[in-house]
Amino acid sequence: MNPRKPRVLDVGNCDPDHGAMLRLLANFDADVVRVMFVDEAVAAMAEERYDLVLVNRLIFADSSDSLPLIERMRADDRFRAVPVMMISNFDDAQDRAVAAGAVRGFGKCDLADGKTIELLEPYLNSNEPAS
């Protein structure tokens, strides 16, 4: 039996940043689904199971704050256990995300850093068999 590929939901990144996320997540052979808005993310999570949600600090399409997604995830029993990380270079944004229930994420300037891969490993290295 083959291990199940990890699934990642990428929320709110522009095309170049989404491409950079894909290159990073290729280290885990992850299936990546991209959405642009908070409501789209909630709908996607209602339909599929994700191992990790990566949310840009500001949603590219409308410049809205992504913190409401983290708050909605933590308030909803269906998504409470799904790990979510904010993508931001700003420590204060990371602190707000953690206070809202996220795990500490990383910044775009850290995409090529080996420490970012180490940060993602607990969420994306699964030995679960495919279902």
CATH of the domain at 117: 3.40.50.2300
Asked if residue 108 belongs to a domain, the reply is yes
Q: Using pLDDT thresholds of 50, 70 and 90, give the confidence band for residue 129.
A: very low
Amino acid at 31: D
User: For residue 75, what pLDDT is reported?
Assistant: 96
Amino acid at 20: A
Asked if residue 131 belongs to a domain, the reply is no
Asked if residue 74 belongs to a domain, the reply is yes
- Residue 88 CA to residue 6 CA, distance in Å, equals 22
User: For residue 1, what pLDDT is reported?
Assistant: 52
Q: Are 101 and 71 in contact (CB under 8 A)?
A: yes
pTM of the model: 0.92
Determine the structural domain holding residue 100 and report its residue range. Answer: 7-124
Q: Using DSSP, how many helices (H) and how many strands (E) does the chain show? A: 5, 5
Number of domains in the chain: 1
Residue-wise pLDDT for 80-110, tens only, equals 999 999 999 999 999 999 999 999 999 999 9
